Structures are given as C-alpha cells and as structure tokens.
Amino acid sequence: MPPRLKTVPDKWIVEQTLADLGDTTPERVEARFAEVRQRFDEQSAIHSADPETWRTFVVAWTGRKSGVLSLITDHWLKPASPELKRAVGQELNKLKAHIEAVLEQKRIEIEAAAERAAQARERIDLSLPGIERATGTRHLIRQTFEELERIFLAIGFSVVQGPEIESPYYNFEALNIPEHHPARDNMDTFYIEGTRGGRLLRTHTSPMQIRTMEKQPPPVRIIVPGKVYRRDNPDATHGYMFHQIEGLAVDTDITFCDFKGTVEYFVREFLGPKAKTRLRPSYFPFTEPSAEVDATCHVCGGSGCRVCKFSGWIELFGAGMVDPAVYGFVKYDAKKLSGFAFGMGVDRLAMMKYGVSELPLLYQNDVRFLRQFP
Ligand SMILES: [Zn+2]
C-alpha cells in the first residue's frame, strides 16, 4: 500500500469546472493555473525527500485516470467555452511542461543519489590495515627431495610414486625377503588389522622397484620419493616415519662401473665437486653385491671433525647391484639384464648437509627453525 500523501492534491479545485469556480476571463484562467502551479511546487518540495512518497506524488499529478492533469483536461479544458478554450489549452500546456521538467529533474537527482549510495557501500577504504597472510618457504625435507630429484632427472631417471600401504608381498617377498628372513627384524612395521592378506605400512620405497618392473619392460631408470614407516622408538635420529628416495636402473649392459660412476656423480652434485666417495661392503637381501656409500666429510673435508666422529667419512646410503633373484619375481630375464639400486634416507641427508642435530626438529613445524633454510 503506497504511503499516504501529507497533502491531498488539489482535487477540490480540479473536480469542479472553471464555470463553477467563476473563472470566466483569460486573466482569471491564468491566475487559476498559477495557483495550481504554486500548489504543485509546494507539494513537490514536501514529497521529494523519500523515493516511495515521491512515486505516489507523481502518480497523483500525472496518473492517466485521476491525476490532476487528467482532471484539468476533463473538467477545465473539455467543457470550456469557445472564447476561453485557447487560453485554457495554452495554460494547460505550460503547466504540463513545467511539471514534466520538475519531475525529470527530480528523477535525475534520485538516480544520482542511488549511485552515490552504491558507491559509498562499495568503496574500499585504503586506509584500513590489510590482512597479512604469513607465507612460508619450502620445508627442508621438500627442498632436499627437490634437490635429489633434480640430480637424478638430469641423468635420465624419472620419478614414480607408489602406495604407502603395501602388501607383504611387495614390501618383503618380491624383494627377496621371505617370511622368516632375519632382515625382517630390522624392518618391523605397522600392520593394518582386518585387511585381506595383512596390509602394512611400507618399510621402504623399494616395493616400487617391483611394481614398476611388473608394469614395464626394461630399460628402467626410476627414482621413488616418498614416506616410509618403521616401528622405531622415537629419539634424536629415529622416528616411526621418515622419507626415502629409492633408485633403480636396469638394462642389458649395466655394469658395476655404471653403478659406481652414478654414485660418484650424485655425491659430487649433492656435496660439492671436492667430495670423494667410498664404497664399503654391506648386505641387503635384494642387492648383490651390496655396499654402503660413504663420502668425505663435507664439514672438515676429510681431515676429521666432530660431525664425522674424526673419521673423515660420513655414511650416506645403501646401494648395490640388483640381486638376480629379484628379476625372477617380475619375469625379467636375469641372464640378459643387470642393474643397480639404492635407497637414501632423505631426512638423514638433509640433517647431515644442513647441520641439523635432532630429527624431531624436522617435524615440529616451528617457523623459527624452518626460516633458517630459505
Ligand atoms: Zn668431518
């Protein structure tokens, strides 16, 4: 329901004829129109403040059926005597022109005000302080992963990833670690109850060696970054989870020289051109021969210091030539193929290279610690 006007339009005048009003001369007609015009001006000033009231006011004056202008046409112009008709017509046209001009002016004002209000609502206050979002850096572990990946991608390896929940077959058996093999003692892990065949959290990234060779014929050149799990009691250098990068290269003509050359290339890329490499005999169920890869201490350069326990050497990772028995699990021809594999502890490499003494520091997400490795 439209709001009621404070002043009813002057229908008391326009509902009567000019003859009723006693306006019988052009002068009287002119004066009567002046009176109507004055009323319009007064009322438009009163009703223009509120847009809703204004709309009702406009209809009251210009409405086709009972607006003031229509009533003037019906009651004043149409029944006017021939002598007055010309004067009434002229005055009516002048009044219409005046009213239209005022309404148009008001329409422009209302639109401008609405525009200003919208702009005020949408205005951005540049003096307000902004919302600061703290941006971090890559985590030291992530950085080390990327560094290792860069080194191996440069010599033709590609990156593959695999499931962290594995079957015992891929984690142990196919890697030449049968059920009662003593190597399983060092790789005690978490078993998931209620799964068919007993699922476990993988103890190394090596299952992806098997999964990759099952899927593709040789040659294979892959590295496998990822999380691995052991049932270790947490201390300064152990946790229930750590990160590994597995490497595998298999082809028809890979020799121990290729293995050693690749290892030496890696050590120089990772620790600097002066770093020397040493291989020590070791044992892993899925490589034969197996080796521990040592490098000259990056802190003292080999002369001996606390970091290398005054030996001049630091242990980097385990590696070796792939045991031919492994090829049997993936239907590779052990007589024609050879290759090498390695498994690096990424946390260990990061701690060693960047001088981090405690493993837990890597997982506490303390920005004061992490900011030291931009
Ligand atoms: Zn040293």
- 10 pLDDT tier (thresholds 50, 70, 90): low
- Count of helix runs (H) and strand runs (E) in the chain: 13, 10
User: 299 CA to middle of ligand 1, Å?
Assistant: 5
**In one letter, which amino acid is 75?**
H
- Sole residue written with tokens 């690749």: 262
Asked whether the CA dihedral 233, 239, 241, 243 is positive or negative, the reply is negative
User: 112 CA to middle of ligand 1, Å?
Assistant: 78
User: 297 CA to middle of ligand 1, Å?
Assistant: 4
For 73-125, the pLDDT digits (tens) are 998 999 888 888 999 999 999 999 999 999 999 889 888 988 998 988 888 88
User: 144 CA to middle of ligand 1, Å?
Assistant: 21
User: 354 CA to middle of ligand 1, Å?
Assistant: 13
For 43-56, the pLDDT digits (tens) are 888 888 888 888 88
- Residue 52, pLDDT score: 84
For 125-146, the pLDDT digits (tens) are 888 888 888 777 789 999 999 9
For 27-82, the pLDDT digits (tens) are 999 999 998 999 899 888 888 888 888 888 898 899 888 888 998 999 899 988 88
Q: What is the pTM of this model?
A: 0.62
How far is residue 244 CA from its own chain's centroid? Answer: 27
- Determine contact, residues 267/316, Cβ cutoff 8 Å: yes
Using the predicted structure, report yes or no on whether residue 291 has a pLDDT greater than 90. yes
Dihedral class, residue 118 (left if φ above 0, else alpha if ψ from -120 to 50, else beta): alpha
User: 256 CA to middle of ligand 1, Å?
Assistant: 28
Which are the contacts of 205, defined by CB distance < 8 A and separation ≥ 6?
162, 224, 225, 226, 228, 244, 245, 246, 343
CA distances from 262 to 11, 191, 198, 259, 340 (A): 105, 35, 37, 5, 10
Can you read off the two tokens belonging to residue 41? 């001006």
CA distances from 308 to 279, 295, 349 (A): 16, 10, 14
- Residue 259, pLDDT score: 94
Asked whether the CA dihedral 272, 297, 205, 181 is positive or negative, the reply is positive
- Determine contact, residues 99/40, Cβ cutoff 8 Å: yes
User: 179 CA to middle of ligand 1, Å?
Assistant: 40
Inter-residue long-range contacts of 301-305, CB under 8 Å, 24+ positions, other chains counted: 301/274, 302/276
For the segment 169-189, the average pLDDT, to the nearest whole number, is: 81
Using the predicted structure, report yes or no on whether residue 8 has a pLDDT greater than 60. no
- Determine contact, residues 62/71, Cβ cutoff 8 Å: no
CATH code, residues 140-370: 3.30.930.10
Using the predicted structure, report yes or no on whether residue 4 has a pLDDT greater than 60. no
- How far is residue 349's CA from residue 275's CA, in Å, rounded to a whole number? 14
User: 314 CA to middle of ligand 1, Å?
Assistant: 8
- Determine contact, residues 226/164, Cβ cutoff 8 Å: yes
Of 70-74, 150-154, 176-180, where does mean pLDDT reach its minimum? 176-180
User: 77 CA to middle of ligand 1, Å?
Assistant: 114
Point out which residues pair with 221 in neighbouring strands. 249
- Sole residue written with tokens 């033709």: 156
- Residue 158, pLDDT score: 94
- Sole residue written with tokens 């891929």: 170
Q: Which residue has the higher pLDDT, 361 or 150?
A: 150
User: 308 CA to middle of ligand 1, Å?
Assistant: 4
Whole-number average pLDDT of the chain: 87
Helix (H/G/I), strand (E/B), else coil: 319: strand
For the segment 195-206, the average pLDDT, to the nearest whole number, is: 83
The pLDDT > 90 percentage for the chain reads: 42
- Residue 46, pLDDT score: 82
User: 38 CA to middle of ligand 1, Å?
Assistant: 104
- Determine contact, residues 177/286, Cβ cutoff 8 Å: yes
- Sole residue written with tokens 């005022």: 102
User: 317 CA to middle of ligand 1, Å?
Assistant: 17
User: 319 CA to middle of ligand 1, Å?
Assistant: 23
User: 296 CA to middle of ligand 1, Å?
Assistant: 8
Can you read off the two tokens belonging to residue 8? 């009813």
Using the predicted structure, report yes or no on whether residue 1 has a pLDDT greater than 60. no
Using the predicted structure, report yes or no on whether residue 6 has a pLDDT greater than 60. no
User: 62 CA to middle of ligand 1, Å?
Assistant: 99
User: 310 CA to middle of ligand 1, Å?
Assistant: 6
- Residue 12, pLDDT score: 65
User: 306 CA to middle of ligand 1, Å?
Assistant: 6
- Residue 17, pLDDT score: 86
Using the predicted structure, report yes or no on whether residue 366 has a pLDDT greater than 80. yes
- 197 pLDDT tier (thresholds 50, 70, 90): low
- How far is residue 310's CA from residue 300's CA, in Å, rounded to a whole number? 9
Which are the contacts of 356, defined by CB distance < 8 A and separation ≥ 6?
140, 350, 362
The DSSP 8-state label assigned to residue 204 in this structure reads S
User: 281 CA to middle of ligand 1, Å?
Assistant: 22
- Residue 11, pLDDT score: 60
- Determine contact, residues 317/343, Cβ cutoff 8 Å: yes
For the chain, the domains span 11-122, 140-370
Point out which residues pair with 247 in neighbouring strands. 223, 342
For the segment 254-282, the average pLDDT, to the nearest whole number, is: 93
User: 349 CA to middle of ligand 1, Å?
Assistant: 15
Angle between helices 51-62 and 26-47 (to 10 degrees): 160
User: 351 CA to middle of ligand 1, Å?
Assistant: 14
Using the predicted structure, report yes or no on whether residue 335 has a pLDDT greater than 50. yes
